[in-house]
Amino acid sequence: MRFIRKAIMGLAALAALPLAAQGPVPAPAVKKVEAVAPKAAVSAPVALDAKDLEAWMDGYLPYALERGRIPGAVVTVVRGDEVLLQKGYGFADVAKRAPVLPETTLFRPGSVSKLVTWTAVMQQVEAGKIDLDKDVNTYLDFKIPPFEGKPITMRQIMTHTAGFEESVRYLISSDPKAVKTLKELMPLALPERVFAPGTTPAYSNYATALAGYIVERVSGQNFDDYVETRIFKPLGMTHSTFRQPLPARLVPYMAKGYPDVTGKAEPFEMVLPGPAGSLSASGADMAKFMIAHLNGGGAILKPETVAQMHNFKAPGVGPLNSMALGFYEQQVNGRRAIAHGGDTVWFHSYLWLFPDSDIGIFLSMNAQGKDGATGAVRSALFHKFADRYLPGPPEKASQVDAATAREHAQMMVGHYVSSRGSFTNFFSLFGLLGQATISLTEDGKLSIPALDGLGAGARDWVEVEPFVWRDTGTGERLAAEVKDGRVVRMSVDPGSPFMVFEPAPASVNAAWLNPALIFAFGVILLAALAWPVRALVRRRFQADFALTGKSLRAYRLSRVFAWLALGALAGWIGLIAAFSADIGSLGGPLDWLIHLLRILTPLAAFGLLATAAWHLWNCIKDKRRWTMKLGAVLLILAAAVLVWVTLAFHLYGFGMVY
């Protein structure tokens, strides 16, 4: 399941239908230099046969897993209706030295589960029970409020343009008691809508679970039962389930999840919006699912329905990848793949289909590995496989002249906010801490640190046409929409179907807010510590304090609120640490801390501002030394920063959907 910590790393976006018309502004005339992209220098294709494929995979995956400190993986490759390779690497259980068995070992594909959910949706479209362009409230027993007077449709849900903000409270847990029925969960976990429907791609696990609930309602069958009877059974997927906890018969086959190969095995994860990511499946079963989609739907869909899913192309940012229906595009060597990735905390997966070549690949690993190694392993497998077996013709790229490229690159510099995030609740604070940045290298090229971990090699962005850059190593593209001479959106191929980055508004821009917060807490810390230190010094030398009466009360109160502000900071740091260690801790165990912080933070911020101002007034009225006045002014400025952050990032309130 692609949850928020992955989003922060820096994937990018799909432009919406109304915005696609804006496009880049007419660019100045540029001199184009014909150049052959390094990616295009490929060798002749190698025949894809089982023997060569296994030898190649044996040469790549064991080293990649060992280098990334990943315990185990399963990979399956199909062509047409034939399985070319299904093989396990490493261990399903490190302590028992149990190997990965592709026929039976279960992995958690995370958001790859969504492809099963979309398949179920399209079965109900075939049955005439779901209309892709109808208000989904028609199918629900609770109401999703309109946004700007507009409802959402299933097509918008399947293309991640329903407009929901991110929600993580009801996402994942290690506690089986956290699992709820879809009937309970859907109204309870309903997040705010922050974008007009059909305008802005913003990946949503909630929306996918909502689609699963609609399948449940229109079919009259529990979702878990539905996929078992209508998808798994017809395809012979005997080692697959959405059920949580696992059915007893499948428990012995479940691979353990790990931080890395040296870590301890972690508990089975409960993905609360089940249709969005709760699948457990063997590699062999995922091969059967891919074969069905590559062969006109097999026993589960009609060929015309499969074509509708695969061939739909939602509007996007310039030439970048965009959404099909449920699948998203990935381009490599001039070929179109449709795909879906998936990440839980411990399992990391990807599924690619090349419909025109009748080829499918599935990979799943049971640890994130060292420095998030799974991202690089997946990216390299996709590109290297394509380079070997599906090379494209030499691709000539038009390169923008150097002066214009420098000008356009400079326009891209800054901080960016992801459309996949929280905007109306306290979790927006994490967006401040994780804003993506674009800077320039010494030679004037784009540098995007957040993308470095998503590929196997260093990025080298070359502008090949106005506001479109290509990475010379992978061929992946980055593009920007420009309006009135300003960048309004940017995205990059791996994430462009389901996320967009927009320049951070000045009000929430980390470029000044993060230094301002450091300054603020530095001042507050000095003020808080100076209070007891000065008292000890006065006691040591038996000196009287210059302030008395109301002036003394104002001084003391300002220091009390300074300590409260430091307590709030410690609490937020603790919450971030707990969330980073276990995302499930946000689903109940830490509710007390969240409530406390949303009371303490505004109390400390506004209290400090008021008392520091009172202290300054008394200093002026009593004609105190300039040093005391300066200290009061600095404390007011620090408090003002805290008040701004408290209001701008919603660090108050009592709502528990976040």
Report how far residue 330's alpha carbon sits from residue 93's, in angstroms, rounded to the nearest whole number: 33
Report how far residue 376's alpha carbon sits from residue 270's, in angstroms, rounded to the nearest whole number: 26
* Per-residue pLDDT tens over the stretch 597-642: 999 999 999 999 999 999 999 999 999 999 999 999 999 999 999 9
Q: Is the pLDDT of residue 28 over 70?
A: no
Residue 11 has a pLDDT of 33
Contacts of 127 (CB under 8 A, 6+ apart): none
Token pair 């190698």 is found at: 46
Give just the sign of the alpha carbon dihedral 126, 128, 129, 133: positive
In the chain, the percentage of residues whose pLDDT exceeds 70 is 92
* Per-residue pLDDT tens over the stretch 413-463: 999 999 999 999 999 998 888 899 999 999 899 999 887 766 666 789 999
In the chain, the percentage of residues whose pLDDT exceeds 90 is 79
Instruction: For residue 37, name the pLDDT band (cuts at 50, 70, 90).
Output: very low
Residue 631 has a pLDDT of 93
Give just the sign of the alpha carbon dihedral 355, 361, 367, 368: negative
* Per-residue pLDDT tens over the stretch 134-187: 999 999 999 999 999 999 999 999 999 999 998 888 999 988 999 999 999 999
Average pLDDT over residues 8-36: 31
Average pLDDT over residues 327-339: 94
Q: Is the pLDDT of residue 222 over 70?
A: yes
H helical segments located in 476-622: 510-541, 549-581, 591-621
Average pLDDT of the chain? 90
For the chain, the straight-line distance linking the first and the last C-alpha, in angstroms and rounded, comes to: 17
Residue 368, CA distances (Å) to 69, 313, 343 in order: 9, 31, 9
Contacts of 457 (CB under 8 A, 6+ apart): 473, 474
Residue 32 has a pLDDT of 36
Nearest of 149, 162, 234 to residue 199 by alpha carbon: 162
* Per-residue pLDDT tens over the stretch 512-533: 999 999 999 999 999 999 999 9
Report how far residue 147's alpha carbon sits from residue 143's, in angstroms, rounded to the nearest whole number: 12
Cβ atoms of 377 and 65 closer than 8 Å: yes
H helical segments located in 193-277: 205-219, 223-227, 233-235
Average pLDDT over residues 243-266: 97
Residue 546 has a pLDDT of 83
Residue 9 has a pLDDT of 37
Cβ atoms of 176 and 184 closer than 8 Å: no
Instruction: For residue 595, name the pLDDT band (cuts at 50, 70, 90).
Output: very high
Could you tell me the CATH superfamily of domain 4-10+33-38+49-389? DD-peptidase/beta-lactamase superfamily (3.40.710.10)
Report how far residue 379's alpha carbon sits from residue 8's, in angstroms, rounded to the nearest whole number: 18
Nearest of 342, 172, 347 to residue 244 by alpha carbon: 172
* Per-residue pLDDT tens over the stretch 378-402: 999 999 999 999 998 766 667 889 9
Cβ atoms of 121 and 309 closer than 8 Å: no
* Per-residue pLDDT tens over the stretch 104-139: 999 999 999 999 999 999 999 999 999 999 999 999
For residue 430, what are its two tokens? 């994490």
Q: Is the pLDDT of residue 346 over 60?
A: yes
Nearest of 551, 461, 492 to residue 9 by alpha carbon: 492
* Per-residue pLDDT tens over the stretch 466-479: 999 999 888 899 99
**Burial (CB count <10 Å: 0-12, 13-18, 19+), residue 623:** exposed
* Per-residue pLDDT tens over the stretch 365-381: 999 999 889 999 999 99
What are the strands of the beta sheet with 335-343, ordered from one edge?
Answer: 98-99, 82-93, 72-79, 359-365, 348-354, 335-343, 328-332
Q: Is the pLDDT of residue 27 over 60?
A: no
Domain with CATH 3.40.710.10 in the chain: 4-10+33-38+49-389
Strand-pair partners of 447: 439
* 276 vs 397, residue with greater confidence: 276
String of DSSP letters for 82-134? EEEEEEEEEEEETTTTEEP-TTT-EE--GGGHHHHHHHHHHHHHHTTS--TTS
